[in-house]
Amino acid sequence: MQLASWNVNSLKVRLPHLLQWLETNPVDLLGLQELKLTDENFPLTELEAAGYGAVFAGQKTYNGVAILYKKATMPEPVDVLVNLPSFPDEQKRVIAATFGDLRFISAYVVNGSEVGSEKFEYKKAWLDGLLKDCEGWLAQYPKLALVGDYNIAPDDRDVHDPKAWAGQVLCSDEERGRFNTLLGLGLVDSFRLFEQAEKTYSWWDYRMLGFQKNKGLRIDHVLLSKPLAEKCTASVIDRAPRKWEKPSDHAPAIATLSI
């Protein structure tokens, strides 16, 4: 089984890329972030033609999350949840569903703009809500995957220039501390279960040849509960779609499980 996450940065624009990627990477479950479209414009017909069902929570211009599931391998989703119970919010940032005995959550964490800003305070409060809810989810669902764009680079290995980014948004101690607390609840960063090439990132700025110079951050993560982590056989970031014409600024993250 393969579980994946991809911030597509506009599903309308990136739909051809998504369909192309799924054709060569037929993952079983895929969490999408930054749909940037409303529910009535969600491309369900095109995805079903590619063999995928979906649950989604869209929003005009910003945010929006979805879970795609391969109809040939996955049961129909039940117990669909939108957003955090502990953090009422108009922004569509979380969608969760259960497939058999697996709880799968796609999350788009607040960016935070800059440390000390109102948006940064919002990010911290949002993350505190995620921590509170995740504790309950892990107690309820032993097999749980929390995937998404976390907008947090967990440590300096995940940053192209740690000195330049030190203390900045995405890399601050306050954000990293909350990420580590999430791991302390019983989640595992699947990427770090394996030896990885240095300077492996999942996001690169469109500006100043960020991708071409590999000036990136690893901020997209597939976190697994311990029963799933024990079955994880690989966890990678697929840089290929970032090379395509008019790409998302994020690359997909994929974990493979022997279940």
- Digit-coded pLDDT (tens) for 145-189: 999 999 999 999 999 999 999 999 999 999 999 999 999 999 999
DSSP 211: T
Q: Is 101 helix (H, G, I), strand (E, B) or coil?
A: coil
- Digit-coded pLDDT (tens) for 35-73: 999 999 999 999 999 999 999 999 999 999 999 999 999
206 as an active site residue: the answer is no
Percent of the chain with pLDDT over 70: 100
Whole-model pTM? 0.98
Q: With contact defined as beta carbons under 8 Å apart, do 108 and 155 qualify?
A: no
pLDDT at 50: 98
Question: How much is the average pLDDT of 119-144?
Answer: 98
pLDDT at 28: 99
pLDDT at 244: 98
Q: With contact defined as beta carbons under 8 Å apart, do 34 and 64 qualify?
A: yes
DSSP 9: S
62 as an active site residue: the answer is no
Question: Which of the four pLDDT bands, split at 50, 70 and 90, describes residue 7?
Answer: very high
Q: The tokens 């945010």 sit on which residue?
A: 63
Question: How much is the average pLDDT of 22-32?
Answer: 98
Choose, from 28, 69, 141, 149, the residue flagged as catalytic: 149
Question: Which of the four pLDDT bands, split at 50, 70 and 90, describes residue 5?
Answer: very high
pLDDT at 104: 99
- Digit-coded pLDDT (tens) for 178-231: 999 999 999 999 999 999 999 999 999 999 899 999 999 999 999 999 999 999
Choose, from 108, 141, 150, 201, the residue flagged as catalytic: 108
Question: How much is the average pLDDT of 106-122?
Answer: 98
Q: Is 39 helix (H, G, I), strand (E, B) or coil?
A: helix
Q: What share of the chain is helix, strand, coil (3-state, %, to 5)?
A: 30, 30, 40
Computed over every residue of the chain, the mean pLDDT equals 98
